Amino acid sequence: MYIILLGPPGSGTGTQGDILAQRLGVLKIATGDLLRGAVEARTPLGLEAKRHMDRKEMVPDKIILSLIKEQLTSEAAAQGIVMDSFPRTVRQAEAVNQLLAERLERIDRVLLLDVPEAELTQRRLSRAPDEGRGGETAEVIEQRLQAYRHSTAPVVGFYREMGVLSIVDGTGTEEEIAERVKEAVGA
């Protein structure tokens, strides 16, 4: 199965993506993780991406497209993938469709984790610094929410048009949300 989990920063797509990928026995791919890996490995792509990440900007589609192309065409992706928080632009969404079509596959379902913005801000402010992206200021959080509203909200419309979108209540306990996710993908 090819599943996409979308939601604003702090909505829990990472945790739910891990649970779902494990249940389905497929890979979970998050472009944020791939980018951090490339930055750490100091690849040319990573160094270019870092300039944008340091400025809290979206990384340009060109970089994201080459990252996901490698992943989506890999042998490991043949069983399916859970995509966590990407595509984040319509251009990325079109590229994913095209790459899957090349292997005669398609997106089965896109789940949008729905969490009120006030709760998102609270969740991120209270994140422990050892979570990697913890210790964020309210300003940084607002900046990320704005980028999400601007770039990613149109992606939701794209998948609604495709007829594969499900909106999942992203509030409650991890287990409650996982149960709703499970129902929405029918797995």
Interface ranges with ligand AMP (CB under 6 A): 31-32, 35, 52-53, 57-59, 64, 85-86, 88, 92, 133
Alpha-carbon torsion (30, 33, 37, 42), positive or negative = positive
How many residues comprise the chain?
Answer: 187
Q: Omega before 87 cis (within 30°)?
A: yes
Chain residue whose CB lies nearest ligand AMP: 32
**Nearest residue to 145 (alpha-carbon basis) of 167, 169, 168, 116:** 116
Q: Give me the least distance between CB of 180 and ligand AMP, in Å please.
A: 22
CB of 68 to ligand AMP, least distance (A): 8
Q: Write down the least CB distance from residue 183 to ligand AMP, Å.
A: 25
Q: For ligand AMP, which is the closer residue by CB, 140 or 167? A: 140
| Residue among 57 and 119 whose Cβ is closer to ligand AMP | 57
Whether the CB-CB separation of 86 and 64 falls below 8 Å is answered with yes
* Distance (Å, whole) CA 64 – CA 44: 13
Min dist CB 52 to ligand AMP, Å, is: 6
Which residues are bridge partners to 27 per DSSP?
A: 81
* Nearer to ligand AMP (CB atom), residue 58 or residue 90: 58
Between 11 and 19, CB nearer to ligand AMP: 11
